[in-house]
Structure 1
Amino acid sequence: MPQIVQLLASPVRRFQGRPADGPDPAPPGELVQEVRIRAGLGIVGDRYFAKPAHRDASITVIASESLPEGADLTHVRRNILTSGIDVDALVGSVLVLDTGDGPVRLKVQRPANPCAWMDAMIAPGAWRALRGRGGIRCTPLDDGVLRIGPVKVAIEAPPDPPSD
């Protein structure tokens, strides 16, 4: 059964500057048991919540199957770590996740391409190894709550664009 393995809602951006200089310190409590999502805005309390430059990609999702053993969301700075869902194949569709509080639809906009920080945070060669498997950037279409644990999954066609 598909699972949500980890959730990250961090108020700070940790990967700034050169990877060789290391990340900024992690704030306490950035790995959480549940996240509150607002349509068009992102995850409440996250660094990209309601930021105009990130509204079309305010939530990131990555599959645990893409990560080497021992790596987690603190290493890749994605918001949702899943198991049993091939998220990288979903660009252009709508990923629907329901952990028991109702469905949350995420419009999958584009891949979340890895960067050179992956070599510093996971291991040398991780940047290259994660190409094409770095997760997805999504726009939330619904308000809702997601929790760690089993998740019902559906894939929908994207909504039609508004007509003029």
Structure 2
Amino acid sequence: MHAFEGRPLDGPRADPGPVSRSCAEVRARLGIVGDRYFNQAAHRNAAVTFLSAESLEPWGVDPLVARRNVVVRGFDVDSLARGTVFSLDSGDGPVRFEVGRPAHPCAWMDQVIAPGAFKGLRGRGGVRCVPLDDGVLRTGKSILVVVSA
């Protein structure tokens, strides 16, 4: 569970918050090892979320507050259509992902980012994806390639 449950006006519950990691182990069709949605049947088609760092620049906040699994810079993930397959290679070989549905922001964004963030992030909240390969993602310079659109 996470702190963003219930009503935003009540405020978030105590939570250690999202944690930045230097690497993440990805399992095909299951998600990221250790993630709260890993191998959860209801989330298998949306197990890994991607966000473009530029989406949060108007607010000047740490991308961790958006609670997406992977944050990329220099690529508009929101422009990817459902069914698009892309790969991300951060040095350990490419890991392919298939784009599912948008990762729409929730009303909590007005509380944890700033008033108006919920509305401002509509269409820029990232995408939910299915990992197609096992692999490792690391922070730092990576290569993102659209495999099929």
Percent identical among aligned pairs is 54
Structure 2, unpaired ranges of 5+: none
Judging changes above 3 Å, is the alpha-carbon distance between structure 1 residues 28 and 128 closer, same or farther for their aligned structure 2 residues? Answer: closer
Q: Please give the alpha-carbon distance, in whole angstroms, between the structure 2 residues aligned to 1:97 and 1:120.
A: 32
Q: Which amino acid aligns with 1:153?
A: L
Q: Please give the alpha-carbon distance, in whole angstroms, between the structure 2 residues aligned to 1:27 and 1:50.
A: 22
The structure 2 residue matched to 1:55, chosen from 44, 47, 51, is 44
Query: Is residue 59–residue 113 contact of structure 2 (8 Å, CA) maintained in 1?
Result: no
Q: Secondary structure at the match of 1:14?
A: coil
The structure 2 residue matched to 1:41, chosen from 30, 33, 39, is 30
Query: Is residue 95–residue 105 contact of structure 1 (8 Å, CA) maintained in 2?
Result: yes
After superposition, give the CA deviation of every residue in 1:93-137 in whole Å (9 maximum; x if it has no partner): 112100010101110001111110110010000011101100000
Structure 1, unpaired ranges of 5+: 1-11, 159-164
Q: Please give the alpha-carbon distance, in whole angstroms, between the structure 2 residues aligned to 1:74 and 1:153.
A: 20
Judging changes above 3 Å, is the alpha-carbon distance between structure 1 residues 29 and 22 closer, same or farther for their aligned structure 2 residues? Answer: closer
What does residue 105 of structure 1 align with?
Answer: 96
Question: CA RMSD, aligned part only?
Answer: 1.5
Residue 24 of structure 1: how far off its partner (Å): 3.0
Q: Please say if 1:150 is aligned against 2:147.
A: no
Q: Secondary structure at the match of 2:128?
A: strand
Query: Is residue 3–residue 14 contact of structure 2 (8 Å, CA) maintained in 1?
Result: yes
Query: Is residue 2–residue 17 contact of structure 2 (8 Å, CA) maintained in 1?
Result: no
What pairs up with 1:9-88 in 2 under 5 angstroms? 12-27=1-16, 30-67=19-56, 68-88=58-78
TM-score by length of 2: 0.92
Residue 70 of structure 1: how far off its partner (Å): 3.1
Q: Secondary structure at the match of 1:31?
A: coil
TM-score by length of 1: 0.84
Query: Is residue 73–residue 80 contact of structure 1 (8 Å, CA) maintained in 2?
Result: no
What does residue 5 of structure 1 align with?
Answer: none
Aligned residue pairs total 147
Judging changes above 3 Å, is the alpha-carbon distance between structure 1 residues 41 and 25 closer, same or farther for their aligned structure 2 residues? Answer: same
The structure 2 residue matched to 1:137, chosen from 97, 118, 128, is 128
Q: Please give the alpha-carbon distance, in whole angstroms, between the structure 1 residues aligned to 2:115 and 2:126.
A: 19
Query: Is residue 34–residue 146 contact of structure 1 (8 Å, CA) maintained in 2?
Result: yes
Q: Please give the alpha-carbon distance, in whole angstroms, between the structure 2 residues aligned to 1:129 and 1:28.
A: 22
